Amino acid sequence: MDIKIIINLAICVTQLLLMMLPGAILRKTNLVSENFGRDISNMILYVAQPMLVLTAYIRPYDVSIAKRAGMVLILAILAHLLFALLSLLFFRRTEASKRTVLRFALIFSNAGYMGIPLIRYTLGEEAVIYASVYVVVFNLFMWTLGFFMYSGNRQYISIKNALFNTTTIATYIGLLIFFFNLYGFFPADGLIYECFVMLKDLVAPLSMFIIGFRLIDAFKAKHTLDFNLFACIGLRLLLAPAAVFVLLFLFYKTGICTDLMSISVVLISASTPAAAATSMLAEKFKGNGIYASMLVSLCTILSLVTMPLIALLLYLF
């Protein structure tokens, strides 16, 4: 494995964390309101991230890319099943409101907001295709298992929303462009494609802006710090990706998957910090939102150290 991947990953994580500062400063100085953060989140969710995914598919059809995407799909499903099983082993005696937050954070990583930009800068534009496949699986689990965990009610489980949301719709459109070789309608120097590129470049800075923004609110409630919170961060940043590494290593040694691009995308996605949805759903279902925000913020900061360390495992392939 090329040392440049680990170096680039460390640099990218550092850059993303530095992007948190403007959001933290604006919130600390009360130059923006709490609703501003929600509006920026919608900008990312409904505009910037779909453009990031879509542009990755604007390329000539290549059967090797299609096969690799299929392998990432299988590996991503197995990774989330593994996370779900791990979550059942921990926090059994924790109070219900916190237990839901902790287990959700262990299962769901920030593969979209943080994972896709990192993979793009570290592994290249093509890798965004595979990262988007991982996010499709993430959404499938989040809109079913994740919503059930927070609501406790099966009526909130939505297969429709799992299969049809902004990221998956962008992926479907991208697949049509890719499989039918429609990339010629979007020349690299054309007006439309350049507009897509400008919008997709908003994902990383805006995503980290929001995390920095929420970090200030989270730290206003220092009483939310406890052992379980730090235990969950350790599990999310170290144990969960380590478990995925073992799975990937077994697949590699048995010849089931020897493609290092697929392995790298899945391992990096699995090593990202707790998903932003951890706090969003806590607020939606009147859960422990402050506790969730604290967890997500601290987890994101500590990932500066853990993600490059996890990436070193790629040298064993």
Q: How far apart are CA 266 and CA 273, in angstroms?
A: 14
pLDDT in tens, 262-298: 999 999 999 999 998 888 788 777 677 778 888 988 8
- The residue-averaged pLDDT of 242-255 equals 96
Please report the pLDDT score of residue 127 as a whole number. Answer: 92
What pLDDT sits at residue 64?
92
Please provide residue 273's backbone torsions phi and psi, each rounded to the nearest 5 degrees.
-70, 180
Spatial distance between the Cα atoms of 261 and 67, rounded to a whole number of angstroms: 12
- Helix orientation angle between 34-43 and 203-219, rounded to the nearest 10 degrees: 150
Q: How many helices (H) and strands (E) does the chain have?
A: 18, 0
In tens, the pLDDT along 99-149 reads 999 999 999 999 987 888 889 888 888 898 999 899 889 988 988 898 889
List CB contacts of 267: < 8 A, sequence separation 6 or more: 241, 244, 245, 248, 310, 311, 313, 314
Closest to 116 (Cα-Cα) out of 248, 278, 252, 275:
275
Distance from C-alpha of 34 to C-alpha of 50, rounded to nearest angstrom: 24
Per-residue 3-state assignment (H helix, E strand, C coil) for 72-116 = HHHHHHHHHHHHHHHHCCCCCCCCHHHHHHHHHHHHCECHHHHHH
Burial of residue 267 (CB within 10 Å: 0-12, 13-18, 19+) is buried
Cα–Cα distance between 100 and 14 in angstroms, integer?
30
Q: Is the dihedral of CA 287, 289, 290, 294 positive or negative?
A: positive
Q: Is the model more confident about 209 or about 37?
A: 209
Query: Six-digit token pair at 23?
Result: 């959001």
Mean residue pLDDT of the chain comes to: 87
- Does 176 have pLDDT greater than 80? yes
- Asked if residue 38 has pLDDT above 80, the reply is no
pLDDT at 265: 96
- Percent of all residues in the chain with a pLDDT value above 70, rounded to a whole number: 97
Give the per-residue pLDDT at 223: 59
Distances from the Cα of 305 to the Cα of 6, 70, 119, 310, angstroms: 12, 31, 17, 9
**Per-residue pLDDT, 206:** 84
DSSP string, 201-240: TTHHHHHHHHHHHHHHHHHT-GGG--HHHHHHHHIIIIIH
The CATH code of the domain at 3-311 is 1.20.1530.20
Say whether pLDDT at 9 is over 90.
no
Tens of pLDDT along 188-246? Answer: 778 888 999 899 888 878 877 877 877 777 677 665 678 999 999 999 999 999 999 99
Domain regions of the chain by residue span = 3-311
| Residue-level pLDDT at 259 | 94
Residue 109 near residue 295, CB atoms below 8 Å: no
Closest CA to 236 of 177, 303, 152: 303
Tokens of 311: 């990436």
Express each pLDDT in 289-298 by its tens digit: 778 888 988 8
pLDDT recorded at residue 2: 61
Q: Counting Cβ atoms within 10 Å, is residue 297 exposed (0-12), middle (13-18) or buried (19+)?
A: buried
Asked if pLDDT for residue 1 goes beyond 60, the answer is no
pLDDT of residue 184: 87
